[in-house]
Structure 1
Amino acid sequence: MDQSERAPASPLERLKVINWAQVQAGQDWIRSRGLTLQQAFVLSYLAENPGAIQRDIAQATRTTAANVSAVLRGLEARDLVERRFEDGDERSKRVFATDAGTELIAGHEEAMTAVDESILAPLTKSERAALQALLDKITAHLSNPGPGDS
């Protein structure tokens, strides 16, 4: 069957294409900074939660403490994060993004907003409002993923 004989893509298949474009743009932005997705997530988390403990990072990233430790070692080697002892207690380390780490991920939200804008560029203002209303109606009864969910 050639392309002209294929059934038209369903609306949800079209949404997958949009989501794929967003994900690819985000991954490209992260890679352009020499980071993995996990490293970027950890840096973002630490920028919003300075002084977090590794257990909190593991919970936020939905991974193991060992995996978080490996990610932090890589970020530490690049001077993007630092671990500090709390009140001289060597058993209690807090993790902070350094200025270099914070600067490296700065602009991500703006970059993703620009991607969204480019995706929606073919639509008029009223078409965007209609699309938003339809998506709100569809998603009203669906559960909303929390932080870290995809």
Structure 2
Amino acid sequence: MDEQHPAPRAKPARRRFHTDVVTDIVGYRLRRAQIQVFQQFIARFATHDLRPADYSTLALIEANPGSKQIEIARALGIKRANFVALINGLESRGLVERRQPANDRRSQALYLTPHGIEQIAVFNKVQADFEAHCIERLGGPAARDQLMELLGRLLDEE
């Protein structure tokens, strides 16, 4: 080849990028799965502008009307300051209301509003469909049960 048209350079050999140093770590795989599941959850709930923590909070309030804020926050592992902001957001959307219990003037009891009751029914349907999708991806109910049992072993150490 001449100076105006140099010979094409050979492509360098593609080196293998080793990921097994992290993909074989339980915590890494759990976190990657959690991120992916949350991204899918957010996509399914996008029209409702609902995050996983919002749904979990509403579901727990539905199951436990009149619960104290601290009870719900503890069940979800959310710090008090962050939980107050979360409840403020749900309250501003008309989904949740705080009431002062007659027997405890220092705490706030949480209830779904009538609008919240209507919306949680819609949200529960979306969540049930998403749960069915996840179970199918796992390989069926037996695989889901096995995963839940294994995850429970990790959680029991707390």
Following superposition of structure 1 onto structure 2, how do residues 20-39 of structure 1 map, counting pairs within 5 Å? 21-39=36-54
In 2: Cα distance, 1:145 partner to 1:52 partner: 23
| Deviation sequence 1:65-84 (CA, Å, 0-9, x none) | 22211111111111100111
Counterpart position of 2:137:
119
SS of alignment partner, residue 45 of structure 2 = helix
CA distance in 2, matches of 1:54, 1:19: 25
Identify which of structures 1 and 2 has the higher relative contact order when contacts are C-alpha pairs closer than 8 Å and 6+ apart. 1
Shift in CA distance, 63/142, structure 1 to aligned 2, threshold 3 Å: closer
Structure 2 CA distance for aligned equivalents of residues 2 and 142 of structure 1: 42
**1:53–1:28: structure 2 CA closer, same or farther, 3 Å change rule?**
same
Q: State whether structure 2 residue 91 is matched by structure 1 residue 76.
A: yes
Corresponding pairs, count = 134
Report the AA paired with residue 98 of structure 1. Answer: T
Task: Give the conservation status (yes or no) of the 8 Å contact 1:79–1:100.
Answer: yes
What TM-score do the two structures reach when normalised by structure 1? 0.63
Root-mean-square deviation (CA, aligned residues, Å) is 3.9
Unaligned segments of structure 2, at least 5 residues: 1-12
User: In the TM superposition, what is the alpha-carbon distance from 1:97 to its structure 2 partner?
Assistant: 1.7
| Secondary structure class of the residue paired with 1:23 | helix
Q: Summarize deviations over 1:9-38 as a string: whole Å, max 9, x none.
A: 88999x778766533322222333112332
TM-score (norm 2): 0.60
Q: Which runs of 5+ in 1 are unaligned?
A: 121-127
Which of the two has higher C-alpha Rg?
Answer: 2
Q: Given the superposition, is the C-alpha separation of residues 144 and 47 from structure 1 closer, same or farther in structure 2, using an over 3 Å criterion?
A: farther
Output aligned runs, 1:26-65, within 5 Å: 26-65=41-80
Percent identity between the two aligned chains: 22
2: CA distance, partners of 1:39 / 1:141: 22
Kept in 1: contact 2:41–2:52 (CA 8 A): no
Distance 2:96 2:49 in 1: 15
Report the Cα offset of residue 89 of structure 1: 5.1
